[in-house]
Every structure is written in structure tokens, then in C-alpha cells.
């Protein structure tokens, strides 16, 4: 019974702790030929199922740091999945030696810099951080 | 057994040496750095299981010698394990992976075993070849069945997953990824030469000429998996019944040929699907294992679904395993000389006992996963299992007071982690 109480308290805390949501968009370099991606295409790139854009050019996805609000919001919006679910997904891939999650950047500014400098790169940032060096594709 | 151990070490050393070749790695080109040379990951589960039946043991795998019930009221051996993995990205095309896993093994020790040790060459972004010790991805979650964190349950349903306790194979595989519209289909073919696996009670099985074909399609939140596996399997030592049958002449020889598991083509066909849009998940899997021997034809399936409420994922699973044949006419004792008839009747009884006690069971499981911290989860699960008529189900170490065809309740708790 103590256990059940413990779980119920945990559940209540989890439900109460809804994080403030930011408006997150997926962006590529302004020099990239990519103009738009569908939700599934974007998901395939970030989940390591596709290593190229639909036009055949190589794609280099960049994740934001684990635990960051922008990362959680991105996966909630694109995959409908929580951070734990994405972690569980990658556990399956990592522990069969099939791949590793995308490299991470520490914040929106670094994401934007890496994306601006590399037409293959794709990342996600807060919409408020978008300027003319990057293009929104989703 | 010694050959296998030697080969394991050769594999592990070869992969390690290849990993050490990093000075030959080409200088990074382009603005973005290559993935890091070495990546270390680890996973593990700490779990306890309690069984309501004190006259037999519940285990999570045929490879384990004891578990919860008779041997231990609470067993930590059923689900606990630790795995560590080193991945080396040698060039952008060439990588190597070495994974060691420690868990209760056939000899009741926790000696670490080489789970994977393979080298992958990426011929194109969608086509790779691997050689060495690789996973045997027969079922939907076979490749991650040891990684509790990757799964919603404490363990994958034993009605399907315990039919094929092997998780790896020494050989080569080819994997080709096709992009059809927004669907990604992966075709994989695997070949293994000879692989020996040790079971408790000094039993072992050897598989050779293993061939597997797997077709996996991912489309958004949906995943479909079809697989076929075939191997020639020999049980060593053979069951004493069969040499005795052979003493009875042609009729006995025919029985031995039909039921003895010696160089028999064993096949597994499976189909699975899962749908996980985020808020909930549903998964179903069906498989049939045909051993062409006394082990019989096993058919297993399960349906499982769960709903996510914040960090909690309660789930329900129904799974079933049936087996046939469960009896045999044996040799016709009346056609034998009186001196052999008594032996024939005794052997027929022994054969029917072996066939009748193959595992058959149904389980209704309910539980929940709680992602209480980053990279950690806690799971609680209750299993209500009804054993098939006259069958011990998947239970082992049956004691004189054991009731065949009865019911068993399990309580399991586990903490999973990855880093």
C-alpha cells in the first residue's frame, strides 16, 4: 500500500509539473536547397532512419542538449514522444551497434552557427531565434 | 565448448585491435567534426521476481538454471543484468562494436560474456555489411531484449521470446535500407556457420548453417517486422530414449528419426507489428517454431498495449504458447517379440511424457513503467499464468509436489538504466 501511495504522489507531481512550451521550428542553412520537409521526413532524419534529404544530399542532424526545453518540445511536436521515449528508442539502436544519436549542441545560438556554416546541417531552435541565416523547413 | 570460447576471444581481440587503429583515421574534413572516435554506453536492470508456486522455478530464459519459486522465494537472477559497450568509429565507413553482458548464465555464474563483437562496413549510406558476433534479430524486440530501458515491460513475453533464447550468432549479415515514399524498409540477411550454446544440466545445442531473413518497415509511428530463420540443430547429449528405440529395429529407428533432435532443420517464422504514436502504444507478434523433433511445433503470440500518463505507462499484455504434437503412438509393441515388447511400452511411455510436458501456457500480465528520472525507470508487473493441460509451461526444476496444468502468479519489480 505504501508503494501505491508513492506512485500516486509521483503521478500527481508529474501531472502538475507541465513545462512552459516554446514554439520550436526545424531549420537548415539559408544556403541549403531544402525548402520544406514533412513530419515523417524530419523524424526519419532525427531518428537515424534516413541519412539523406529527400533530394539525395547528405543530412547532418544536430540535437540540442538532453533535458533542454527546446529538445523536449521538438520531439513532442514532431514525434509525439517524451524525452524518455526518445531515449528508449535510441537505446534500441545504440545497443545493437546500429547507430548513435545525432551530435548535440548546447543552445540555440550554437545550433544556428553550426547550421549556418554547413548546408548539410539541420537542427531545431526557438522560433524567436530565427534570422535570415537559416530557413524554417518545418 | 572450448573452440567456441577461443573463437569468442579471437573475435573480441580482433575487434579491439581494429579499434586501436585510430591513428590511421583520416583527418576530419568539412566544417563539422566526425562522430567521436570512441563511444562508451552501458545498460542494466536490477530486478526481483516472486512466484506463487514454490514447487518449480520461473526463469526468463531457457539458458538459466534456476529462478523464482522453488530455488528462491524472491529471485534477483531472473531479470538482473549489466551490459557495457564500446563503439569505435574508425573511419566514416568502418566501425566496430564490442559489447559485454553479465547475467546469470547456465552455470549459475555471472561471468561476462561477449554479446556482440563485430565490424561494420558501410558500403553506402543505406547498405552495410557486418562480420563477427552479431545480434539475431528474429523477433520485434530481439535486438534490444536485454535492454530493459528500451522496452515497456519488465521482460518481453516469454511465450514468444523464450522459444528462441539465443540473442547472437557468429557470422555475417547484410543490411539494405530502402526508402519508398515516406516508408523505410530494411532488408537484412544473416548467415552463421556453427554456434554452440550451453544450457543448464550439462546440455548444449549446436546450430550450423544458420540463415535468417528479416524485413522491417517503419512508417511514421508504425513498425512491421517479418522474419524467417533456419538452422540445422543438434542437441548434445541426445535424449537417452532414442538410442534405446534404435535397439528395437526398423520401427524404433523410424521413431528415433522422427523425434530425435540431431541435425534437424529447425525453422522460425515470425510476424510482428507495433504502433506508437506517443500517447499510447499497441504491439502484437506471432511466431511459429518448428523443430522437426520431439521439441515439436511451438506457436506463440502476444498482444500488448499501454497508455502514457505523464511519466507513467501502465500496460496490459496477453500472451499464449501452444505446442504440438503432445502424444505419439510410438512403436507397435504387439508387433515385436515378447522380449522387446516390455521395453517398447516403457519407451513409448517415456516419449509421451516428453511430448506431453513441452511448454504450453497463457499469461495475462498487467504492469506499469515509471520514468522517474532521466535514464532510469521503475517497473512493476504482475503475471497470471495458466499452464497448458498436463504441461509445466515454461517452468523448470519441477518438484514432486508440482501441479502440471495449474496456475502461477508472478510479481516482478525492476529498475532499468542506460548511460
The tens digit of pLDDT for each residue in B88-108 reads 999 889 999 999 999 999 999
Q: How confident is the model at residue B382 (pLDDT cuts 50, 70, 90)?
A: very high
B296 Rama sector, left if φ>0, alpha if ψ -120 to 50, beta otherwise: left
Q: In b/e form, how buried is each residue of B284-303, taking b as 16+ CB within 10 angstroms?
A: bbbbbbbbebbbbbbbbbbe
Judged by a CB distance cut-off of 8 A, whether residue A33 touches chain B is no
> What does the alpha-carbon distance between residue B95 and residue B118 come to, in Å, rounded to a whole number?
9
Instruction: Give me the pLDDT at residue B17, please.
Output: 72
Is the four-CA dihedral B106, B111, B112, B118 of positive or negative sign?
negative
Using the predicted structure, report yes or no on whether residue B31 has a pLDDT greater than 70. no
Using the predicted structure, report yes or no on whether residue B201 has a pLDDT greater than 60. yes
Beta-carbon count within 10 A of B282 CB: 15
Using the predicted structure, report yes or no on whether residue A6 has a pLDDT greater than 60. no
Instruction: Give me the pLDDT at residue A1, please.
Output: 46
Backbone angles phi, psi at A127, to 5 degrees: -55, -35
Please give the helix or strand (H or E) that residue A123 lies within, else none. strand A121-126
Cell numbers 543505406 correspond to what residue? B126
Instruction: Give me the pLDDT at residue A13, please.
Output: 44
**Three-state DSSP state, A93:** helix
> Average pLDDT over chain B, rounded to whole?
91
Using the predicted structure, report yes or no on whether residue B321 has a pLDDT greater than 70. yes
Using the predicted structure, report yes or no on whether residue B292 has a pLDDT greater than 80. yes
Enter the C-alpha cell of residue B401: 509436489
Check: CB of residue B187 under 8 Å from CB of residue B215: yes
Judged by a CB distance cut-off of 8 A, whether residue A129 touches chain B is no
Judged by a CB distance cut-off of 8 A, whether residue A79 touches chain B is yes
Using the predicted structure, report yes or no on whether residue A11 has a pLDDT greater than 80. no
DSSP state of A48: T
> What does the alpha-carbon distance between residue A11 and residue A4 come to, in Å, rounded to a whole number?
10
Least confident range from A15-29, B118-132, B308-322, B382-396: namely A15-29
**Three-state DSSP state, B261:** coil
Judged by a CB distance cut-off of 8 A, whether residue B291 touches chain A is no
Between B138 and B288, the higher pLDDT residue: B288
pLDDT tens for B326-337 read: 999 999 999 999
> What does the alpha-carbon distance between residue B336 and residue B344 come to, in Å, rounded to a whole number?
8
Q: What is the mean pLDDT of residues B69-81?
A: 97
Of chain B, the percentage scoring pLDDT greater than 90 comes to 79
B104 Rama sector, left if φ>0, alpha if ψ -120 to 50, beta otherwise: beta
CATH class of residue range A22-136: alpha beta
pTM, to two decimals: 0.88
What are the start-end ranges of the E strands in B252-356?
264-275, 280-290, 297-307, 312-324
| CB-nearest partner of A85 from B120, B130, B278 | B278
Using the predicted structure, report yes or no on whether residue A116 has a pLDDT greater than 90. yes
Using the predicted structure, report yes or no on whether residue A60 has a pLDDT greater than 50. yes
Q: What is the mean pLDDT of residues B239-259?
A: 93
Nearest CA among B397, B307, B381, B403 for reference residue B158: B381
Instruction: Give me the pLDDT at residue B410, please.
Output: 98
Residue of A nearest to B117 (CA): A97
Asked if omega into B237 is within 30° of 0 (cis), the reply is: yes
Query: A87–B149: do the CB atoms touch at under 8 Å?
Result: yes
Q: What is the mean pLDDT of residues A122-137?
A: 94
Instruction: Give me the pLDDT at residue B347, please.
Output: 95
Between B126 and A10, the higher pLDDT residue: B126
Instruction: Give me the pLDDT at residue B29, please.
Output: 39
What distance lies between CA B206 and its chain's CA centroid?
Answer: 15
Domain boundaries, chain A: 22-136
**Bridge partners of residue B122, in order along the sequence:** B128
Pairing mode, if any, of strands B264-275 and B222-236? antiparallel
Q: How confident is the model at residue B13 (pLDDT cuts 50, 70, 90)?
A: confident
Using the predicted structure, report yes or no on whether residue A17 has a pLDDT greater than 80. no
Using the predicted structure, report yes or no on whether residue B57 has a pLDDT greater than 90. yes
Rg (CA), chain B: 23
What are the start-end ranges of the E strands in B237-296?
264-275, 280-290
Check: CB of residue B231 under 8 Å from CB of residue B205: no
Of chain B, the percentage scoring pLDDT greater than 70 comes to 95
Cell numbers 563511444 correspond to what residue? B39
Q: How confident is the model at residue B294 (pLDDT cuts 50, 70, 90)?
A: very high
Between B36 and B57, the higher pLDDT residue: B57
Query: A92–B368: do the CB atoms touch at under 8 Å?
Result: no
Instruction: Give me the pLDDT at residue B33, please.
Output: 52
Instruction: Give me the pLDDT at residue B194, please.
Output: 82
Using the predicted structure, report yes or no on whether residue B25 has a pLDDT greater than 80. no
B146's CB contacts (< 8 A; 6+ apart) are A95, B43, B81, B83, B101, B103, B115, B167
Cell numbers 542532424 correspond to what residue? A61
Apex CA A92: angle with CA A90 and CA A96, to 5°?
A: 115
Write out chain A residues lying below 8 Å of B312, CB-based. Answer: 7, 10-11, 14
Diameter of chain A measured on Cα atoms: 60
> What does the alpha-carbon distance between residue B205 and residue B211 come to, in Å, rounded to a whole number?
17
> What does the alpha-carbon distance between residue B356 and residue B389 come to, in Å, rounded to a whole number?
9
Query: A14–B311: do the CB atoms touch at under 8 Å?
Result: yes
Using the predicted structure, report yes or no on whether residue A26 has a pLDDT greater than 90. yes
Instruction: Give me the pLDDT at residue B193, please.
Output: 82
Asked if omega into B219 is within 30° of 0 (cis), the reply is: no
> What does the alpha-carbon distance between residue B160 and residue B163 come to, in Å, rounded to a whole number?
6
| CB-nearest partner of B135 from A51, A91, A96 | A96
Judged by a CB distance cut-off of 8 A, whether residue A4 touches chain B is no
Question: How many residue pairs from chains A and B have C-beta atoms closer than 8 A?
Answer: 121
Q: How confident is the model at residue A18 (pLDDT cuts 50, 70, 90)?
A: very low
Instruction: Give me the pLDDT at residue B15, please.
Output: 77
Query: A121–B182: do the CB atoms touch at under 8 Å?
Result: no
CATH class of residue range B2-22+36-418: mainly beta
Instruction: Give me the pLDDT at residue A97, please.
Output: 82
pLDDT tens for B130-178 read: 999 998 888 999 889 999 999 999 999 999 999 888 888 899 999 999 9
> What does the alpha-carbon distance between residue B195 and residue B207 come to, in Å, rounded to a whole number?
5
**Three-state DSSP state, B17:** helix
Amino acid at each position: 500500500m505504501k508503494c501505491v501511495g508513492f506512485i500516486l504522489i509521483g503521478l500527481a507531481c508529474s501531472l502538475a509539473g507541465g513545462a512552459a512550451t516554446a514554439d520550436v521550428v526545424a531549420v537548415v542553412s539559408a544556403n541549403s536547397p531544402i525548402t520544406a520537409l514533412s513530419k515523417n521526413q524530419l523524424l526519419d532524419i532525427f531518428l537515424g532512419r534516413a541519412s539523406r534529404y529527400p533530394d539525395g544530399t547528405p543530412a547532418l542532424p544536430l540535437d540540442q542538449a538532453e533535458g533542454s526545453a527546446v529538445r523536449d518540445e521538438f520531439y513532442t511536436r514532431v514525434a509525439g514522444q517524451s524525452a524518455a521515449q526518445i531515449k528508449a528508442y535510441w537505446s534500441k539502436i545504440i545497443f545493437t551497434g546500429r547507430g548513435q544519436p545525432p551530435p548535440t549542441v548546447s543552445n540555440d545560438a550554437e545550433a544556428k552557427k553550426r547550421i549556418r556554416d554547413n548546408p548539410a546541417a539541420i537542427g531545431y531552435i526557438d522560433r524567436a531565434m530565427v534570422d535570415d541565416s537559416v530557413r524554417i523547413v518545418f | 565448448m572450448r573452440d567456441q570460447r577461443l573463437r569468442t576471444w579471437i573475435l573480441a581481440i580482433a575487434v579491439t585491435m581494429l579499434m586501436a587503429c585510430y591513428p590511421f583515421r583520416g583527418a576530419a574534413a568539412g566544417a563539422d567534426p566526425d562522430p567521436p572516435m570512441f563511444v562508451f554506453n552501458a545498460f542494466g536492470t536490477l530486478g526481483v521476481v516472486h512466484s506463487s508456486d514454490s514447487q518449480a522455478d520461473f526463469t526468463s530464459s531457457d539458458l538459466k538454471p534456476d529462478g523464482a519459486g522453488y530455488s528462491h522465494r524472491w529471485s534477483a537472477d531472473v531479470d538482473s543484468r549489466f551490459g557495457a559497450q564500446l563503439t569505435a568509429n574508425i573511419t566514416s565507413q568502418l566501425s566496430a562494436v564490442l559489447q559485454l553482458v553479465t547475467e546469470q548464465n547456465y552455470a549459475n555464474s555471472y561471468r561476462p560474456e561477449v554479446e556482440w563483437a563485430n565490424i561494420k562496413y558501410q558500403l553506402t549510406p543505406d547498405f552495410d555489411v557486418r562480420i563477427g558476433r552479431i545480434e539475431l534479430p528474429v523477433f520485434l524486440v530481439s535486438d534490444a531484449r536485454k535492454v530493459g530501458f528500451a522496452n515497456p515491460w519488465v521482460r518481453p513475453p516469454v511465450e514468444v521470446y523464450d522459444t528462441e533464447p539465443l540473442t547472437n550468432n557468429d557470422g555475417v549479415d547484410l543490411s539494405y535500407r530502402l526508402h519508398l515514399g515516406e516508408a523505410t524498409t530494411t532488408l537484412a540477411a544473416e548467415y552463421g556457420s556453427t554456434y554452440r550454446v550451453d544450457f543448464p544440466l550439462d546440455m548444449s545445442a549446436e546450430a550450423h548453417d544458420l540463415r535468417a531473413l528479416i524485413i522491417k518497415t517503419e512508417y511514421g509511428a508504425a513498425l512491421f517486422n517479418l522474419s524467417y530463420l533456419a538452422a540445422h540443430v543438434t542437441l548434445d547429449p541426445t535424449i537417452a530414449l532414442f538410442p534405446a528405440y534404435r535397439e528395437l529395429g526398423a520401427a524404433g529407428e523410424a521413431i528415433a528419426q522422427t523425434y530425435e533432435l540431431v541435425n534437424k532443420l529447425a525453422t522460425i517464422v515470425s510476424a510482428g507489428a507495433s504502433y506508437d504514436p506517443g500517447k499510447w502504444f499497441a504491439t502484437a507478434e506471432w511466431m511459429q517454431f518448428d523443430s522437426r523433433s520431439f521439441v515439436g511445433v511451438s506457436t506463440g503470440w502476444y498482444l500488448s498495449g499501454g497508455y502514457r500518463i505523464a511519466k507513467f505507462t501502465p500496460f496490459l499484455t496477453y500472451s499464449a504458447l501452444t505446442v504440438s504434437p503432445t502424444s505419439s503412438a510410438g512403436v507397435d509393441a504387439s508387433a515385436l517379440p515378447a522380449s522387446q515388447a516390455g521395453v517398447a511400452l516403457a519407451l513409448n511411455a517415456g516419449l509421451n511424457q516428453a511430448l506431453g510436458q513441452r511448454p504450453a501456457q497463457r499469461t495475462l500480465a498487467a504492469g506499469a513503467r515509471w520514468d522517474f528520472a532521466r535514464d532510469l525507470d521503475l517497473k512493476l508487473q504482475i503475471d497470471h499464468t495458466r499452464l497448458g493441460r498436463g504441461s509445466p509451461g515454461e517452468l523448470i526444476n519441477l518438484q514432486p509436489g508440482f501441479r502440471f496444468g495449474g496456475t502461477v502468479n508472478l510479481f516482478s519489480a525492476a529498475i532499468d538504466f542506460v548511460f
